[in-house]
């Protein structure tokens, strides 16, 4: 390969790496509410806060705009998209449908796969409960997210994961923003175990109903709570 062409390709690879790094950093900051909903800043300001350069931040913002996490305002900067209660309701409708189906499929997996999946789901549930006992709500939220991600990732339907990814980041942000408002976090562990037991025992209908019940209960708790404290957006 001619030296000039190789140098161009290497430069292109470095540029992609910088964009990927900026994308990951900005996305994580949005998911963990480092940048609150409605926060607006220039690409330069965001780059300074994240410790990266300006151009990759702009490219990363284009990707995040496609995912519904930011809006790029010409000559005004980048704004972190807020979620209204109706957005949360729609997100939960997606989660309820897909995760119930994922649990049903998981319970139909071969025994070795079911048991391995159940063990990993139990591990995340244990981490949730340990974090809650220690007062670590951030740790609880991350373990809860991992439980739901693993369930969908390993149910045997690859399209489920691609579909649900469009709302996963938004649902995680809502989860992290409302943790301190929710009084019934301990119930999640028991509800997770009901899903785990049904998967381990190869009971598709029970697994589907347990996963569905868990998300419906969370939705029916969260939406009135948001309304009661007067939150217009998350």
Q: How confident is the model at residue 67 (pLDDT cuts 50, 70, 90)?
A: confident
Model confidence at 120: pLDDT above 60: yes
Q: Coil, strand, or helix at residue 59?
A: helix
Per-residue pLDDT tens over the stretch 4-15: 434 333 434 444
181 closest CA partner among 216, 231, 215: 231
User: Residue 153 has what pLDDT?
Assistant: 95
Percent of the chain exceeding pLDDT 90 equals 42
Q: Are 78 and 59 in contact (CB under 8 A)?
A: no
Q: Are 37 and 85 in contact (CB under 8 A)?
A: no
Domains, the chain, in order of start with CATH, read: 3-80 (1.10.10.10), 85-228 (1.20.120.530)
Longest dimension (CA), the chain: 66
Q: How confident is the model at residue 225 (pLDDT cuts 50, 70, 90)?
A: confident
User: Residue 58 has what pLDDT?
Assistant: 87
Model confidence at 148: pLDDT above 90: yes
Per-residue pLDDT tens over the stretch 185-212: 788 999 999 999 999 999 999 999 999 9
Per-residue pLDDT tens over the stretch 5-57: 343 334 344 445 888 988 888 888 888 778 878 889 888 888 888 887 788 88
Q: pTM to 2 decimals?
A: 0.76
Model confidence at 92: pLDDT above 80: yes
User: Hey, what are 152's tokens?
Assistant: 């969908």
Please, which residues have CB within 8 angstroms of residue 1's CB and are 6 or more apart in sequence? none
Model confidence at 217: pLDDT above 60: yes
């Amino acid at each position: 390969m001619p030296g000039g062409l190789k140098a161009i390709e290497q430069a292109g690879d470095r540029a992609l790496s910088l964009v990927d790094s900026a994308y990951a950093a900005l996305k994580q900051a949005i998911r963990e509410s480092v940048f609150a909903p409605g926060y607006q800043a220039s690409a330069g300001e965001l780059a300074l806060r994240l410790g990266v350069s300006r151009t990759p931040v702009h490219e990363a913002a284009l990707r995040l705009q496609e995912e519904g996490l930011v809006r790029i305002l010409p000559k005004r900067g980048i704004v972190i998209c807020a979620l209204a209660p109706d957005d949360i309701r729609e997100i939960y409708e997606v989660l309820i449908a897909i995760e119930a189906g994922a649990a049903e499929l998981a319970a139909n997996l071969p025994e070795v796969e079911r048991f391995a999946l159940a063990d990993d789901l139990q591990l995340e549930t244990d981490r949730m409960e340990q974090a809650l006992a220690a007062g670590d709500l951030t740790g609880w939220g991350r373990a809860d997210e991992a439980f739901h991600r693993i369930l969908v990732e390993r149910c045997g339907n690859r399209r489920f994961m691609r579909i649900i990814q469009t709302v996963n980041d938004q649902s995680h942000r809502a989860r992290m923003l409302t943790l301190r408002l929710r009084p019934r976090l301990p119930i999640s562990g028991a509800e997770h175990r009901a899903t785990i037991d049904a998967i381990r025992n190869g009971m598709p209908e029970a697994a589907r109903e347990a996963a569905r019940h868990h998300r419906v209960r969370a939705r029916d708790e969260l939406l009135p709570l948001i309304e009661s404290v007067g939150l217009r957006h998350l």
